[in-house]
């Protein structure tokens, strides 16, 4: 189970190696994604709070990256944070997520991205429920819910 200290270490000292890499040109991403998905995942945008369709979805399944279909989060670790974005306590695998220090908007935060394709997902905060204490605050537009459980 990842802790805040490990998240900070990844953001400062380097991220775990992903299982694979997916790299495409901006034109290829633009052709594949909706304009909103492209704005959020490729240009570090955010959706308005309480507008994403996955915010209140609690169906069983895996939340995969909308860009490369890499599994990121499992429905069993999703929780209601009342923040207006889907929230999770842990990634599905330690190396599924990439972490970077984000100092935009006069704040210091930790940005989370898909470690396979560098798609922007959202941010992680140390104010989640125990036992991890983590809250991955993720844009609905950056994920797809795969309801097929293996």
| Three-state SS annotation for 121-132 | EEEEECCCCCCC
For the segment 41-62, what is each residue's pLDDT rounded down to a tens digit? 999 999 999 999 999 989 999 9
- For 28-40, b/e burial (b = at least 16 CB within 10 A) is ebeeebeeebbbb
Would you list the DSSP string of 12-26? HH-PPPPS------H
Q: Kindly list the domain boundaries of the chain, sorted by start residue.
A: 4-13+22-147
* Cβ pair 147, 48 in contact under 8 A: no
Reported as a pLDDT band with limits 50, 70 and 90, residue 107 is confident
Residue 112 neighbours by CB under 8 Å, 6+ apart:
97, 98, 99, 121, 122, 123, 124, 136, 138
User: Does domain 4-13+22-147 correspond to CATH entry 3.40.605.10?
Assistant: no
Residue 148 pLDDT = 76
* Known active-site residue 137: yes
For the segment 108-136, what is each residue's pLDDT rounded down to a tens digit? 899 999 999 999 999 999 999 999 999 99
**55, 67, 114, 137: the active-site residue:** 137
* Cβ pair 48, 148 in contact under 8 A: no
**Residue 150 pLDDT exceeds 60:** no
* Cross-strand bridge partners of residue 110: 101, 124
Q: Return left, alpha or beta for 42; rule: phi > 0 is left, psi -120 to 50 is alpha, else beta.
A: alpha
Residue 104 pLDDT = 85
Q: How confident is the prediction for the chain on average, in pLDDT?
A: 95
Residue 99 neighbours by CB under 8 Å, 6+ apart:
7, 10, 11, 15, 110, 111, 112, 113, 124
**Residue 80 pLDDT exceeds 70:** yes
């Amino acid at each position: 189970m990842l802790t805040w200290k490990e998240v900070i270490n990844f953001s400062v000292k380097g991220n775990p190696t992903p299982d694979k890499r997916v790299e495409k040109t901006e034109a290829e991403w633009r052709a594949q994604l909706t304009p909103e998905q492209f704005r959020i995942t490729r240009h570090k945008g955010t959706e308005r709070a309480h507008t994403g369709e996955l915010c209140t979805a609690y169906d069983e399944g895996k939340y995969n990256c909308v860009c490369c279909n890499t599994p990121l989060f499992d429905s069993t670790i999703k929780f209601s944070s009342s923040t207006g974005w889907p929230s999770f306590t842990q990634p599905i695998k330690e190396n599924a997520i990439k972490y970077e220090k984000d100092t935009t908007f006069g704040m210091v935060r930790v940005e989370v991205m898909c470690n396979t394709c560098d798609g922007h997902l959202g941010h992680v905060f140390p104010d989640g429920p125990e036992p991890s204490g983590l809250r991955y605050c993720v844009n609905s537009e950056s994920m797809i819910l795969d309801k097929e459980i293996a």
